[in-house]
């Protein structure tokens, strides 16, 4: 996959994860995500682009609260990441239980 395709896929993945963000998607998460991507849009060196893509993939893997660079959250980023991940899996579990559980 080309670098452009990787960047687009990364952006889409972050947008998908940000929909359930506790502070709001439209008013908080999306503008910061867009600003982070616009800040890196002028990169030309392929190594720097790959480094930025790897950082984005690291953020997707669970530490995407660091992207927002809020100092108070940096202290508790791991706990909030775990809480957000737990909320996501709980939602997924409830949906699957509703679909596949035998009717009572």
* Confidence (pLDDT) at 58: 76
Domain ranges for the chain: 3-100
Burial bucket for residue 76 (CB in 10 Å: 0-12, 13-18, 19+)? exposed
* Confidence (pLDDT) at 70: 46
Closest CA to 80 of 61, 66, 94: 66
pLDDT above 50: residue 73: no
Q: What is the pTM of this model?
A: 0.58
pLDDT above 50: residue 48: yes
Q: Which of 14-23, 49-58, 95-104 has the lowest mean pLDDT?
A: 14-23
**Highest mean pLDDT range out of 15-19, 30-34, 62-66, 76-80?**
30-34
Mean pLDDT of 1-27: 82
Provide CB contacts within 8 A for 84, sequence distance 6+.
20, 21, 22, 65
């Amino acid at each position: 996959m080309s670098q452009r395709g990787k960047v687009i896929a990364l952006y889409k993945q972050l947008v998908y994860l940000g929909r359930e963000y506790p502070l709001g998607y439209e008013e908080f998460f999306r503008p910061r995500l867009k600003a982070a991507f616009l800040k890196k849009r002028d990169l030309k060196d392929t190594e720097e682009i790959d480094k930025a893509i790897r950082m984005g993939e690291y953020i997707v893997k669970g530490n995407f609260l660091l992207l927002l660079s809020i100092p108070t959250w940096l202290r508790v980023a791991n706990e909030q990441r775990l809480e957000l991940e737990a909320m996501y899996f709980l939602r997924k579990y409830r949906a699957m239980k509703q679909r596949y559980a035998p009717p009572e």
